[in-house]
Amino acid sequence: MCNFFEYYGKTLKKTSDLKSNACVPSAKPVPAYVRKVIAEIHPDVVAKYYGCGLVVPESLECSRVLDLGCGSGRDCYMLSQLVGEKGHVTGIDMTEDQLEVARKYIDYHTQRFGYKKPNVNFVQGYIEALAEAGLEEKSYDIIISNCVVNLSPDKASVLREAYRVLKDGGELYFSDVYSDARIPEDLKANKVLWGECLSGALWWEDLMRLAEEVGFCKPRLVTASIITVGNKELEKLLGDYKFVSATYRLFKIPKGSEKKSCLVMYNGEITGLEESFEFDAQYNFKVDKEMEVDDDVASILSNSRFSGEFTFQHQHSGLKTSSSGGCWDKPKVSDSFPTSVLT
Higher pLDDT, 335 or 280: 280
DSSP state of 199: T
Band (pLDDT 50/70/90 cuts) for residue 258 is: confident
- 277 neighbors 270 (Cβ within 8 angstroms): yes
Residues 62 and 167 in one domain: yes
Please count the other Cβ atoms lying within 10 Å of the Cβ belonging to residue 236: 9
Band (pLDDT 50/70/90 cuts) for residue 340 is: low
Residues 244 and 328 in one domain: no
The CATH number of the domain holding residue 302 is 3.40.5.100
Residues 14, 17: Cα–Cα separation, whole Å:
6
Band (pLDDT 50/70/90 cuts) for residue 316 is: low
CA-nearest of 102, 83, 81 to 39 is 81
Going by C-beta distance under 8 Å and a sequence separation of 6 or more, which residues neighbour residue 324? 289
Higher pLDDT, 54 or 60: 60
Domain termination residue (choose one: 211, 232, 252)? 252
Q: Kindly report which listed range (101-110, 117-126, 191-200) carries the lowest average pLDDT score.
A: 191-200
Domain termination residue (choose one: 252, 281, 300)? 252
Average of pLDDT values for 252-268?
93
Domain containing residue 94: 4-252
Residues 262 and 343 in one domain: yes
For position 20, what pLDDT does the model report? 56
Residues 109 and 190 in one domain: yes
Coil vs helix vs strand at 153? coil
200-214 per-position pLDDT tens digit:
999 999 999 999 999
- 180 neighbors 102 (Cβ within 8 angstroms): no
Residues 22 and 63 in one domain: yes
Q: Which helix (H) or strand (E) holds 299?
A: helix 295-303
Residues 283 and 134 in one domain: no
For position 38, what pLDDT does the model report? 94
For position 49, what pLDDT does the model report? 82
Domain termination residue (choose one: 252, 282, 299)? 252
The CATH number of the domain holding residue 41 is 3.40.50.150
Residues 47 and 196 in one domain: yes
Residues 224 and 292 in one domain: no
CA-nearest of 260, 316, 262, 311 to 288 is 311
Residue 336 to residues 223, 250, 258, 269, Cα–Cα distance (Å): 11, 12, 22, 27
Please count the other Cβ atoms lying within 10 Å of the Cβ belonging to residue 307: 12
Higher pLDDT, 208 or 342: 208
For position 287, what pLDDT does the model report? 98
- 187 neighbors 237 (Cβ within 8 angstroms): yes
Band (pLDDT 50/70/90 cuts) for residue 54 is: confident
Band (pLDDT 50/70/90 cuts) for residue 129 is: very high
Over pLDDT 90: what percentage of the chain?
A: 74
Residues 246 and 260 in one domain: no
Residues 221 and 278 in one domain: no
For position 222, what pLDDT does the model report? 94
For position 257, what pLDDT does the model report? 86
Number of domains in the chain: 2
CA-nearest of 95, 59, 84 to 73 is 95
Residues 16 and 30 in one domain: yes
Q: Which of 26-30, 104-108, 317-321 has the highest mean pLDDT?
A: 104-108
Q: Kindly report which listed range (89-98, 158-167, 227-236) carries the lowest average pLDDT score.
A: 227-236
The mean of the pLDDT values for the chain is 88
Output the DSSP codes for 265-285.
EE-S-STT-SSEEE-SSS-EE
Q: What is the dihedral of CA 168, 172, 178, 181, to 10 degrees?
A: -10
Over pLDDT 70: what percentage of the chain?
A: 83
Band (pLDDT 50/70/90 cuts) for residue 327 is: very low
Residues 18 and 126 in one domain: yes
Q: Which helix (H) or strand (E) holds 163?
A: helix 155-165
Model confidence at 77: pLDDT above 50: yes
